[in-house]
A and B are shown apart, each in its own frame.
Chain A
Amino acid sequence: AQSVTQLGSHVSVSEGALVLLRCNYSSSVPPYLFWYVQYPNQGLQLLLKYTTGATLVKGINGFEAEFKKSETSFHLTKPSAHMSDAAEYFCAVSDRAGGGNKLTFGTGTQLKVEL
């Protein structure tokens, strides 16, 4: 069974500071990994994904994440936070075998950006 742990349900950063949102996963097979962002009262939007190849993946809005197999981690980073980054972020894992039928999501991290 797969699982995702997001450390820190709330993260607060100053505008212009580094954003680091942590995600660790558990999977019995090589996973596909995803980060989604959700703005209030909206659906989830895909930020980036890791499937195969380069372990550092870049996404929209200046975010990137690095797949570290030895640490079973897929942390999300952005060098400089902007007020518009305030949202909830979800990490998710999919069983790679056959593409999988389901995504397992973490419980989310609410990012607050302060002036």
Chain B
Amino acid sequence: SQTIHQWPATLVQPVGSPLSLECTVEGTSNPNLYWYRQAAGRGLQLLFYSVGIGQISSEVPQNLSASRPQDRQFILSSKKLLLSDSGFYLCAWRGRGGTGELFFGEGSRLTVL
């Protein structure tokens, strides 16, 4: 069966510090991968998605970036965090074809102080 792992689960970082959130998927190959952010009262915002290694689509201009160095690994990064980067970050995957449902990780809570 397929599983998705995200870490760290909780992170408290000062403004201006770097960020790296990691997500890996097991039990499938060549998945589409996604990063969403959930800010209080604002629903889910798609940040990035990837349909293959090295292929990243950005949905929202911001100081975050994403990379996909391996087929089942998706990394969310920032060189300098802003207060507004605080939120709950969710990684998700979906298989090729199918009906489009996403399968989510457990999330990473980021607090920027």
Chain A residues near B102: list those with CB within 8 A: 44, 46, 103
- B87 on the A face (CB < 8 A): no
B32 engages A105 (CB within 8 Å): no
Which residue of chain B lies nearest to A98 when distances are taken between CB atoms in the complex? B97
What's the minimum C-beta distance from A46 to chain B, rounded to whole angstroms?
Answer: 6
Q: Are the CB atoms of A103 and B100 closer together than 8 Å?
A: yes
Size bracket of the B interface: 20 to 34
Of B6, B88, B99, which one neighbours A99 at CB under 8 angstroms?
Answer: B99
Q: Are A94 and B105 in contact (CB under 8 A)?
A: no
Q: Judge whether B51 and A49 touch: CB under 8 Å.
A: no
Complex CA gap A51/B106 in Å reads 26
Number of A-B contacts (CB under 8 A): 60
Please state if B90 and A44 are interface contacts (CB–CB under 8 Å).
yes
Q: Report the bound CA distance from A107 to B32 in whole Å.
A: 23
Identify which of B12-20, B42-50, B62-70, B74-82 touches chain A. B42-50
Q: How large is the interface on A (under 10, 10 to 19, 20 to 34, 35 or more residues)?
A: 20 to 34
Q: Which residues of chain A come closer than 8 Å to B41, judged between CB atoms?
A: 9
Quote the shortest CB–CB distance from B25 to chain A (angstroms). Answer: 13
A107, B104: Cβ atoms under 8 Å? no
The chain B residues found within 8 Å of chain A, CB to CB, are: 6, 32, 34, 41-44, 46, 49, 51, 88, 90, 92, 97-107, 109
A-side residues, CB < 8 A to B, are 9, 32, 34, 36, 41-46, 49, 51, 90, 94-96, 99-103, 105-108
30 contacts between A and B (CB under 8 A): A32-B100, A34-B100, A34-B101, A36-B104, A41-B88, A42-B106, A42-B107, A43-B90, A43-B107, A44-B104, A45-B104, A46-B101, A46-B103, A49-B101, A94-B99, A94-B100, A94-B101, A95-B100, A99-B98, A99-B99, A99-B100, A100-B100, A101-B32, A102-B49, A103-B101, A103-B102, A106-B43, A107-B42, A108-B43, A108-B44
